[in-house]
Amino acid sequence: MALEPAAGPAKGRTLVRNIGLLLSGDLARPVLEADAILVEDGVIAAIGRDAEVRDRGPFDAVIDCHGSAVAPGLVDSHVHPVLGDWTPRQNQLGWVESFLNGGVTTMVSAGEVHSPGRPKDLVGLKAHAVFAQRSFHNLRPAGVKVLAGAPVLEKGMVEADFAELAAAGVTLLGEVGLGSVKAGYEAREMIAWARKHGIQSTIHTGGPSVPGSGYIDKDTVLEADADIIGHINGGHTSLSEAHVCELCERSSRAIEIVHNGNERVAIAAAQAARDLGVLHRVILGTDSPAGSGVQPLGILRMISLLAGLGGIAPEAAIACATGNTARIRNLDAGLIEVGRAADLLFLDRAQHSAGRDLLHSIELGDIPGIGMVMIDGAVRCGRSRNTPPAERVPELLHA
Ligand SMILES: [Zn+2]
C-alpha cells in the first residue's frame, strides 16, 4: 500500500508523444487533433503536433505512447473515504490504490459516513469534517487526490456553523439525507447557507443504500435544490424512471449517476439528459465503498455501460467521467487543456476485444486496458493490475 505525503507536482519537463488518440474530456470537442503533450512541473504546458512540441526540448523524460490513447484521469464524483487507504465498510486496505489502477486520479467525498463512531453532535461533526479534509489534503493514498471533509447535515446547524466550516477549509457537504436533516424545507435552508459560504452540496436520491441510510423522494430533491443530485439512479434502490427523468428536466443541477445504483435507471437518466441537450450536467461516481463492495474499475464500467447499452457516444461517456465533473466541481484537472494539472490516463483497446479500436471496443461494452496513469506529472502506475491488458502500452524513457 503506497501512502505518502501530498507532494507538489513532479518537477521537470516530460514530452508525451506518439499519441494515437487524444481525448480531451470536453463534451463539446471530445477528440483533439494532436499527438503530443508537453508536461512542465506537473502542468500541461503545450498540446500539439509531435514535430512542434518536440522542438520545445530538452526534456527530462519522454513517454512514447506507441499509438495508444491519452485521456484525462478519471474523476469519481461519489466516494465515502474514511482514513488513508482503509475502509471499514468492507474492512479493506488499499482500495484507493486499486482505483488508481482503474484510471481514477481524483475522488470526491460524499461524506465520511463509514467512520466508526461518527460524531453526530455539532462540535464533533465539524471537527470530524475538518480532520478528514486535512488528513486527505496532507496524505494522498497512492498519489490519488481525495477531496474529503464533507460533513453530514444534522438538525440544529445554523449559518455560523457553515461559515466556521468554510473558514476551516471545508468545501463539500456530505450527502444530504444521511443525517437527521431529511425534510426538503430544512435541507434547503442549510444548503443555501453552505452555498453562500462556498460549500458544494450533494443530496442522496432514492431509497436507503444500507440500513441507517435514508429515503429521499423526487419532491424533496427539487425542494432542497442541492448542487448535485447525488446518485440519481439510487444507491441501490432507485426512484421510478419517470421521477428520475422529471428530475433531469425540472432541476438544473448536476445529474450524478453511480455504479452502486440501479443500472437500468442509470441508462434512462443518461438518455434523458442527452435528449434534453444537457449531457454536460451528467457526472459519474461509484458510491463506494458500499454494500456491493469497492469497484476499482467502477468508473470504467459506467463508461462502458452508458456507451454499450445506453447508446451514449464513448467519447461523450468519458467526458461525463472527466471534464463534466471537473467543471461542475471546480477541479484543476479533468480536461486536456494547457494550464490544467497533468493527470493523464494512457489507455488502449483491451487485447482480443472484438472492437476495431479503443472507442469501438467501449461501444461494444468492453472495458479498455490501462497502460499508465500520471498524476501531477508523476507516473503513478504502469500497466494496470486490474484492467484487461491494453494492446499498446506507453514506454517511459529518460531523456
Ligand atoms: Zn447515498
Alpha carbons within 13 A on the beta-carbon side of 217: 2
**Is there a single domain that holds both residue 37 and residue 81?**
no
Give the mean pLDDT of 123-129: 98
Give 281's DSSP letter. G
**Is there a single domain that holds both residue 243 and residue 372?**
no
**Is there a single domain that holds both residue 166 and residue 242?**
yes
Average pLDDT, the chain: 95
Least confident range of 5-14, 96-105, 189-198, 219-228? 5-14
Q: Give the domain extent around 157.
A: 74-296
**CA of 293 relative to ligand 1 center, distance in Å:** 14
Q: Is the dihedral of CA 296, 298, 304, 309 positive or negative?
A: positive
**CA of 27 relative to ligand 1 center, distance in Å:** 27
Amino acid in the structure at residue 36: A
Q: Dihedral of the CA atoms 193, 196, 198, 204 (nearest 10)?
A: 40
**pLDDT score, position 3:** 53
**CA of 237 relative to ligand 1 center, distance in Å:** 10
**Is there a single domain that holds both residue 22 and residue 134?**
no
- How buried is residue 293: exposed, middle or buried, by Cβ count under 10 Å (0-12/13-18/19+)? middle
**Is there a single domain that holds both residue 66 and residue 83?**
no
Helix, strand, coil abundance in the chain, percent, nearest 5:
30, 25, 45
**Is there a single domain that holds both residue 246 and residue 353?**
no
Distance CA 331, CA 323 (A): 9
Give the mean pLDDT of 79-91: 95
Q: Decide: helix, strand or coil at residue 360.
A: helix
Residue of 202, 204, 121, 129 whose CA lies nearest to 167: 129
Give the mean pLDDT of 111-126: 96
**CA of 230 relative to ligand 1 center, distance in Å:** 7
pLDDT band at 210 (very low <50, low <70, confident <90, very high): confident
Q: What is the CATH number of the domain that holds 369?
A: 2.30.40.10
Query: For the chain, what percent of residues have pLDDT higher than 90?
Result: 92
Residue 252 has pLDDT above 90, yes or no: yes
**pLDDT score, position 1:** 44
**pLDDT score, position 11:** 87
Q: Decide: helix, strand or coil at residue 222.
A: helix
Distance CA 177, CA 184 (A): 9
Q: Is 106 within a domain? A: yes
**CA of 218 relative to ligand 1 center, distance in Å:** 14
Q: Is 64 within a domain? A: yes
Q: Is 312 within a domain? A: no
**Is there a single domain that holds both residue 288 and residue 144?**
yes
Residue 264 has pLDDT above 70, yes or no: yes
Per-residue cell: 258:
453511480
pLDDT band at 5 (very low <50, low <70, confident <90, very high): low
**Is there a single domain that holds both residue 84 and residue 108?**
yes
Amino acid in the structure at residue 270: A
Distance CA 26, CA 20 (A): 18
Pair 302, 321: CB distance under 8 Å:
yes
Q: Decide: helix, strand or coil at residue 225.
A: coil
Residue 178 has pLDDT above 70, yes or no: yes
**306-335 pLDDT, tens digit each:** 999 999 999 999 999 999 999 999 999 999
Q: Total domain count for the chain?
A: 2
**CA of 162 relative to ligand 1 center, distance in Å:** 21
**CA of 176 relative to ligand 1 center, distance in Å:** 8
**pLDDT score, position 211:** 75
**CA of 209 relative to ligand 1 center, distance in Å:** 6
**CA of 40 relative to ligand 1 center, distance in Å:** 39
Q: Is 324 within a domain? A: no
Instruction: Output the CA angle 179-184-189, nearest 5 degrees.
Output: 85
**342-359 pLDDT, tens digit each:** 999 999 999 999 999 999
**Is there a single domain that holds both residue 250 and residue 351?**
no
Give the mean pLDDT of 122-133: 98
**CA of 110 relative to ligand 1 center, distance in Å:** 8
**Is there a single domain that holds both residue 47 and residue 145?**
no
Q: What is the CATH number of the domain that holds 242?
A: 3.20.20.140
Q: Is 245 within a domain? A: yes
**271-314 pLDDT, tens digit each:** 999 999 999 999 999 999 988 889 999 999 999 999 999 999 99
Residue 2 has pLDDT above 60, yes or no: no
Q: Is 185 within a domain? A: yes
Q: Is 321 within a domain? A: no
More confident residue, 2 or 304: 304
Q: Is 364 within a domain? A: yes
Least confident range of 164-168, 199-203, 211-215, 287-291? 211-215
